[in-house]
A = this chain, B = another copy of it.
């Protein structure tokens, strides 16, 4: 129904996450009405982000340098590593402005259903990184997602790391702040009761 350049743009946009055909159409029409410079800047921003950004050689976080700003920051605690599934999780934790350790991005989680085994994600790099450290006060916080894959990954990693004499912890699961007991699912409530702490 649309002419080819518009149809092509709509189908490209509709492949993006959270963009349906209707939104893609709306965005495409918006692109048509943009100024020349805005359209060019949008296209350049896509290419430039895609080309310049890669994973940090140490932790796997996104960076446009060899090592990321967090790994290069000497003010951060080298003996505290937070393990996350995705580079975007680093951003989520950084937003709390409280965590002063470093990160290790796995770039995925163990998922036999999807054919992702322990060797397909950056677990070996994590073990190598920890073996290099001499410090015994080392702590690894496992902050993988609280779903089957994330949980399995956390268990797998903790079994690998404990023999190395490393303290391994898991982030707490429980009622979110501002949440309402009544509307929380049973599994979360169970975890909240199990994980109770003395006041």
Contacts and interface: CB of A to CB of B under 8 A. Distances in A.
A62 B91 CA distance: 41
Nearest to A12: B45
Interface stretch (A32-40, A118-126, A128-136): A32-40
A30 B17 contact: yes
The DSSP consensus for interface residues of chain A is helix
Given A30-B16, A31-B50, A45 B3 contact: no
A71 interface: no
B28 A49 contact: yes
A116 B128 CA distance: 66
Contacts of A30: 16-17
A113 interface: no
Interface in A39-72: 39-53, 62-64, 68-69
A18 B23 contact: yes
A2 B69 CA distance: 10
Given A16-B30, A62-B32, A64-B4, A45 B95 contact: no
Given A3-B62, A5-B64, A17-B30, A12 B42 contact: yes
Interface of A: 1-6, 8-9, 12-13, 15-19, 23, 25-32, 34, 36, 38-53, 62-64, 68-69, 86-88, 91, 94-95
Given A19-B27, A36-B50, 13 more contacts: A2-B91, A3-B62, A4-B64, A5-B52, A8-B45, A8-B49, A12-B45, A18-B23, A32-B50, A32-B62, A32-B87, A39-B50, A43-B44
